[in-house]
Amino acid sequence: MTRDAVAVLGIGIMGAAMARNLAAAGLSTTVWDRSPEATAPLTAAGVAVAASPQEAVADARVVITMLPTAEAVESVIVTGRVAEAFDRGAVWAQMGTIGIEATTRLETELRRLRPDVTFVDAPVSGSKGPAEAGQLLILASGSPDAEPVVRPAFAAIGRKTVWLGEAGKGTAMKIVVNAYMSAMIEAVAEALQLAGDLGIDSAALAEVIEGGPLDAPIAIAKLHKMQSGDYAPEFPLEWALKDVDLAVASVAVDRLPLLEALARQWRFAVDAGHGRQDVSAARLALGL
């Protein structure tokens, strides 16, 4: 095991930014993704590309998974037997948003397969811009013994790490935070729809909101993206919908009526082919 070696499995928008920042911080960084075209650009940043996930994790002190779903994580780590390739004493930081039940199940499975490896549940709050700037908020939970081990890697990719207790609490907090964010973004989309129906110019709406008590940074950023029709992905709509579905599934039926309605609305847009676009494409669902 190399002291500061980090492996990143899953090189999408977030994983690629994390890998670049880890390498820039001087940490020995190796990546793997199912798609070679996703990893190829990282070599210029000093990142090593592994041919397999087993190769990527072999000498890593910290293994980060940034895969989109619980099924993807399980297929790589458990079914793909990557857990068996972890170096002795490594820490696995599961940083994608996969839900509370799946997080608990994976921690239990890791304990069975590799009791010498420590599991940290550490989803991140932030999208493309903060990820590229190394300014993510890390919602960590798990054994306190893991904190000094993951500290250099977390410092390279995040502006702040909040430790929340036992594994699963980080994921619970992430689901709550993303529910809050999703409701805000849908409110922006519907406010723009209402403004248009009432003959209010969207630029005037933005002028009224900016600088006032309603000027939440993410809300105004998404308002401007919707105004300009810029749906280039920062946080894809399909993954935002996944997180809303996780929130709804985590509680009893009818406990979250607004989020249940929002999920139905966003599913229209995803089914219409807008899932890979930014979450601001929620605006497009109002025309379907």
Q: Residues with catalytic annotation?
A: 174
- Residue 171: what residue type? T
Token digits of residue 130: 């903060």
Dist CA 74 CA 105 (whole Å): 10
Dist CA 24 CA 186 (whole Å): 36
Taking CA atoms, 2 is separated from 16, 30, 90, 94, 106, in Å, by 21, 12, 10, 20, 25
Residues 6+ apart with CB under 8 A from 148: none
Following DSSP, what letter does each residue of 170-224 receive, concatenated? HHHHHHHHHHHHHHHHHHHHHHHHHHHHTT--HHHHHHHHTTSTT--HHHHHHHH
Across the chain, the runs of DSSP E, i.e. the strands, are: 6-9, 29-32, 48-49, 62-65, 91-94, 118-121, 124-125, 136-142, 158-163
Following DSSP, what letter does each residue of 84-114 receive, concatenated? GGSPTT-EEEE-S---HHHHHHHHHHHHHH-
- Residue 138: what residue type? I
Dist CA 286 CA 265 (whole Å): 8
